Amino acid sequence: MKNNRGFTLVEVMVALMVVGVALPAMLKALYQQVDTTSYLREKSMAQWVATNKLAELRLQLNRNGNFFRGERRGVAEMADREWFYWMQSVPTEVPDFFRLEITVAGEEDQRDTPAYTLVGFIYAANVPGADA
């Protein structure tokens, strides 16, 4: 009796079918991971921009007593990219205490869908025009 070793045609076809189903599923998972990484990178950068703007406002207030009321907008550069930000200062019920909302987006037309929004508070006592 002859002892043949190897795969039968049916075994090869089943193996190809398993690879044909598994490979696209693995590629889809890989592409989703890449998209998630890109999203998280953008969100992290936007968070840094907002945190830097809040720190700048606090330093400005401590240095020369300047504090803005209302809204401001601008462009900040981080990681060789421009980030658009909008800041809004609103007085709270507590005297000399202001609520700041800093919204950051990668494009100027993305204010309604920002990458990150930071809410902070600043105590601005004895600042001209800040308590009005």
pLDDT of residue 118: 97
| Digit-coded pLDDT (tens) for 37-86 | 889 999 999 999 999 999 999 998 888 888 888 999 999 999 899 999 99
Going by pLDDT thresholds of 50, 70 and 90, the confidence category of residue 127 is: low
For the cut 70, the answer to whether the pLDDT of residue 131 exceeds it is no
User: Average pLDDT of the chain?
Assistant: 88
DSSP codes of every residue in 92-120: -SSTTEEEEEEEEESSGGGTTS-SEEEEE
Residue 127 and residue 132: Cα distance in Å, rounded? 10
Provide, rounded to the nearest whole percent, the portion of the chain with pLDDT above 70.
92
Max mean pLDDT range (21-25, 48-52, 106-110):
48-52
Poorest-pLDDT segment among 1-5, 28-32, 108-112? 1-5
- Report which of residues 1 and 71 the model is more confident about: 71
In the chain, what are the domains? Answer: 9-123 (3.30.1300.30)
pLDDT tens, residue by residue, 6-15? 788 888 899 9
d(CA 53, CA 119): 11
